[in-house]
Amino acid sequence: MRLHSLVLKDISRRKTKLLVAVLGVVVASAAIVAVVSTFSAATDSLYEESDNFGANIIVRPEVKTIPLVAGSTSMGSLFTGENYIEESEIPRIYTIMESSKLSVVAPRLYGVAELGNASVVVMGVDPEEERKLNSWWKVQGSWISSEGPGQTGVMVGSDIAAPLGLTEGSLFTLRNGNISMDVLVAGVIESTGGSEDAYVILPLAASQRLLGREGKVSSLEVRALCNSCPVEEISMQIEEKFPGLEARSMSQIVRNELAVVEHTRSSAMAVSVITLLVSTLTVASTMLASVNDKLKEIGIMRAIGASDAQIVSMLFFEGAIIGAVGGIIGFVIGTIASSIAAPLLVQVTPSPMWQILLPVTGICVLTGMFASLLPANRALGIDPAEVLRSV
Amino acid sequence: MIRILNVDKRYRIGAGEVQVLRGVSLDVKKGEFVSVMGQSGSGKTTLMNLIGMLDSPGGGSISIDGTDITGKSQKQLVELRRRTVGFVFQQFHLIPSLTAYENVALPLVFAGEKDNDAVAAALGRVGLSQRKDHKPAELSGGEQQRVAIARAIVMKPKILLADEPTGALDAATGSLIISMLRSLAGEMTVIMVTHNMELAMCSDRIVNLKDGNIAE
C-alpha cells in the first residue's frame, strides 16, 4: 500500500461528499471546453470563408502621380513608373521570410482587345494558380488550361457571354492592332458580381502575345494562409524584396469579422475563468470541510508517523484527483454542449477538440491542487496532542 | 531507558494558564510495564504525549535511550517517533476505509517501508491473521483494539504507550488486551494510562499522578 492508494480509498469512502467539489470542476471545465470548441470552430469557419474572398494581397507596380500645373492652372496629372512586372521576377516572391505562408501567387495581365466591333477587357492568367484563387467560381463548361498545341481556350464572363451569344464551344477572334488570335470558349463564368463578369480570360502566354507584352504581367494576386498570418508583414516583405512594387493588404473585412469573434470569445473566456475561480472555491471549501471531518484521523496519522509533507501531499493528491475527474467529465459535457449550442449560436458544427483534453484536465488538476492549499494549511495546524486530548 | 527530569507543562486556556505537570521526574527501565493512574486532569495523558513526542515540555528534560528529545526539531521528532514509539488509544482510531491489514501497515507506509512480513507477524501476534481483510466496522471492539495494538508494534518500537486501552471494552475483553500488553513488556517498554486498579496491578509498577506531580 502507498500513500496514494490511501487517498483513493478515502475518496471512495467519501465520494458523495466530494461530488460537490467534482461538480464545481465539471462546470468550469465544461464551460472552458464549450467556449474554446465553439469559437475555434467559428474562427476556422471564418478563415475558410475568407479563402473564398480570393486574394488578400495585391501586388502591382507603384505608379507615381505628378500634378501638372502651369501657373495657377491645373493641366492634369502625369503618371510615371513602370506599368508591368517582369514575369521572370515572380519566383523571387518565394524568397521572402514568410514565404511558407504564401499559398497562391497568381499573375495577371490586363489589356483591351477587339471582339468583332466591341472592345473587351482581356485578362491573362496562370490557369492553375487562378483556379486555386477562385475555386468558388461556377463555370459552365470547363476551366481553361495552360496553352497546349491546340486552339487557345478562353473563359468569358457572364456580362459579355449573353449579349455576344457566346457559349461553351463558341469560336471567335480577338484582335489587337495587327495581331489576331482565334480562340475557343472553354467555359462561361456564372455571374460573380465582380469585374470578371465582363472579362475574357485566357492563358497568360496567349494574352502576352495578343497584347504584345511578352514576359510582362500587370499584377500579382497573392493569397497568404490567413490563419494566424500577419498579412501586413507579408506585404511589407514583398515591397522590400521588389522595390518599385506596392503590395496592398485586402484583409480588412476578415480582420473586422475576426475581431468580433475574438471579442466574443474573450468575453466568454472571462466567464469561464470566473467559473474556474468559483470552482476553486468550491473545491477548497469542500476539502476544508473534509479536513475538519478528519481532524482526528489526521491527528492519529501524525501520531503514528505521518510527516507534514506526507499529509500535504495526500491533500494535494486528493485535490488533483478531484480536478482530473472533474476535468475529464467536463470535457465530455462541454464537447456535447458545444455540438448542440454552436450550430444555433454561430452556425457552425464543431468537432471534438481532443487536443485540448490534456491542457484542460491539466488546468483542472492545478485548480484542485491550488484549492488544497487552504485545507493543507489547516491540516498542518492540527496538533495531534490536542486532538488526542479531546478523544 | 526513559528519563523524565523536572518536567513542567502549562496550557493556556483563554486568558488564563493551567499548570498540568509540576516538576515531574520519573525513570522507566527498558522492558518495564508501568501503569500511570490518577484522577481526571491529573496530567496522565499529558505525560504520555510528552513521552510520545506529540508535545514538548515547558521545562525540564526527557531523554529516551540517552537521547534528549527536548529541543529536537519537528522533523527529527517525527522520525524519532516513527521508530521509537507505538500508540494504542482508548477509541482505537483505526482508519475506517482501510482493512485490518492496511491499518497495521500504515506506520510502514509513512516510514516509506514495505514489509509484508512485519504486518503479518504483528497481526499474528494479536491473533487476527484470519481477520486481516476485514474493515474496522466489521470487527468487534476487542478485535479493533487488537488491530490497534498490531499497528502500534509493527515498527517494533522501543516504547508502547497505551492510553486507557480497555476504556471502551467490556471486562473480559479488557483482560485479554491487558494480557496482550503484558506479553509485549520485556520486548518493549509499556506505559499504560488506566483508571482501573485491577488492570494496573498487572503491570510491574504503578505511578500515581496527583495535581501534576508523582505520588508513587
Model pLDDT, residue A121:
93
CA distance to A69, A75, A78, B30, per residue, from A66 (Å): 9, 11, 5, 112
Q: Which of A85-89, A197-201, A268-272, A372-376 has the lowest mean pLDDT?
A: A268-272
**Would strands B85-88 and A245-249 be described as parallel, antiparallel, or unpaired?**
unpaired
This model of the complex carries an ipTM of 0.85
pLDDT band at A40 (very low <50, low <70, confident <90, very high): confident
CB B62 within 8 A of CB B50: yes
Q: Which residue type does B54 have?
A: L
% residues pLDDT > 90 (chain A): 33
**In this complex, is the C-beta atom of A309 within 8 Å of any C-beta atom belonging to chain B?**
no
Q: Nearest CB to A300: which of B45, B55, B93?
A: B93
pLDDT band at A248 (very low <50, low <70, confident <90, very high): confident
pLDDT digits (tens, 9 = 90+) for B22-44: 999 999 999 999 999 998 888 88
Q: Which of A93-97, A243-247, A290-294, B198-202 has the lowest mean pLDDT?
A: A290-294
* CB within 8 Å: A307 and B95: no
Looking at the fold, whether A92 and A158 belong to one and the same domain comes out as yes
Number of residues assigned to chain A? 391
Final residue of a structural domain among A234, A249, A264: A249
Nearest residue in A to B75, CA atom: A307
Nearest residue in B to A313, CA atom: B110
**In this complex, is the C-beta atom of A1 within 8 Å of any C-beta atom belonging to chain B?**
yes
Model pLDDT, residue A256:
63
CB A127 within 8 A of CB A203: yes
Number of residues assigned to chain B? 216
> Which grid cell sits at B15?
486568558
pLDDT band at B137 (very low <50, low <70, confident <90, very high): very high
Q: Which of A34-38, A154-158, A332-336, B177-181 has the lowest mean pLDDT?
A: A34-38
Model pLDDT, residue A38:
86
> Which grid cell sits at A144?
481553361
CB A36 within 8 A of CB A353: yes
Q: How many domains does chain B have?
A: 1
* CB within 8 Å: B54 and A389: no
**Closest chain B C-alpha to A300 CA, distance in angstroms:** 7
Model pLDDT, residue A136:
82
Is residue A162 over pLDDT 50? yes
Looking at the fold, whether A86 and A11 belong to one and the same domain comes out as no
Q: Which of A42-46, A219-223, B209-213 has the lowest mean pLDDT?
A: A42-46
Q: How many domains does chain A have?
A: 2
Q: Which of A97-111, A199-213, A249-263, B194-208 has the lowest mean pLDDT?
A: A249-263
Model pLDDT, residue A389:
62
> Which grid cell sits at A75?
493641366
Model pLDDT, residue A391:
44
Structural domain range at position B93:
2-214
B21 burial type by CB count under 10 A (0-12 exposed, 13-18 middle, 19+ buried):
buried
Model pLDDT, residue A279:
78
Which alpha helices (DSSP H) does chain A contain, by range? 3-13, 15-52, 127-133, 158-164, 204-211, 231-241, 252-293, 295-303, 308-345, 357-371, 373-380, 384-389
Model pLDDT, residue A253:
54
Nearest residue in B to A309, CA atom: B75
Nearest residue in A to B40, CA atom: A389
The order of strands in the sheet holding B59-64 is B16-28, B2-13, B59-64, B67-68
- The span from the CA of B170 to the CA of B49, in Å, is 26
**Closest chain B C-alpha to A291 CA, distance in angstroms:** 14
What is the average pLDDT across A35-45? 81
* Cell 510528552 found at: B50
Model pLDDT, residue A176:
92
* Cell 509485549 found at: B184
pLDDT band at B100 (very low <50, low <70, confident <90, very high): very high
Looking at the fold, whether A267 and A137 belong to one and the same domain comes out as no
> Strand, helix or coil at A214?
coil
pLDDT digits (tens, 9 = 90+) for B138-196: 999 999 999 999 999 999 999 999 998 888 888 888 888 999 999 999 899 999 999 88
B112: phi then psi, degrees, rounded to nearest 5? 75, 25
> Which grid cell sits at A305?
508517523
**Closest chain B C-alpha to A310 CA, distance in angstroms:** 8
Final residue of a structural domain among A189, A219, A249: A249
What is the average pLDDT across A219-244? 80
Predicted TM-score (pTM) of the model is 0.64
* CB within 8 Å: A304 and B78: no
- The span from the CA of A158 to the CA of A137, in Å, is 12
Q: Nearest CB to A384: which of B54, B82, B86?
A: B54
Looking at the fold, whether A313 and A349 belong to one and the same domain comes out as yes
Instruction: From chain A, pick out residues whose CB is under 8 angstroms from the CB of B54.
Output: 303, 384-385, 388
Looking at the fold, whether A44 and A162 belong to one and the same domain comes out as no
Q: What does pLDDT average to over chain A?
A: 84
> Which grid cell sits at B110?
509513512
Mutate to test the interface with B, among A4, A296, A300, A304 (most CBs of B within 10 A): A304
Instruction: From chain B, pick out residues whose CB is under 8 angstroms from the CB of A310.
Output: 110
Instruction: From chain B, pick out residues whose CB is under 8 angstroms from the CB of A300.
Output: 89, 93, 95
* CB within 8 Å: A2 and B54: no
Looking at the fold, whether A21 and A83 belong to one and the same domain comes out as no
Looking at the fold, whether A43 and A68 belong to one and the same domain comes out as no
Q: Nearest CB to B78: which of A297, A305, A391?
A: A305
Looking at the fold, whether A266 and A182 belong to one and the same domain comes out as no
Structural domain range at position A238:
57-249
> Which grid cell sits at A336?
456535447
Q: Which of A51-60, A110-119, B93-102, B172-181 has the lowest mean pLDDT?
A: A51-60
Looking at the fold, whether A208 and A228 belong to one and the same domain comes out as yes
Final residue of a structural domain among A193, A216, A249: A249
Looking at the fold, whether A77 and A117 belong to one and the same domain comes out as yes
Q: Tell me the count of A-B CB pairs closer than 8 A.
A: 74
What is the average pLDDT across A235-261? 75
* CB within 8 Å: B111 and A388: no
Looking at the fold, whether A37 and A81 belong to one and the same domain comes out as no
- The span from the CA of A79 to the CA of A63, in Å, is 6
pLDDT band at A202 (very low <50, low <70, confident <90, very high): very high
pLDDT digits (tens, 9 = 90+) for B60-69: 999 998 889 9
A130: phi then psi, degrees, rounded to nearest 5? -65, -35
Neighbours of A64 (CB within 10 A): 9
> Strand, helix or coil at A360?
helix
CATH of the domain at B85: 3.40.50.300
pLDDT digits (tens, 9 = 90+) for A62-90: 876 666 666 667 666 655 556 889 999 89
Looking at the fold, whether A140 and A221 belong to one and the same domain comes out as yes
**Closest chain A C-alpha to B145 CA, distance in angstroms:** 14
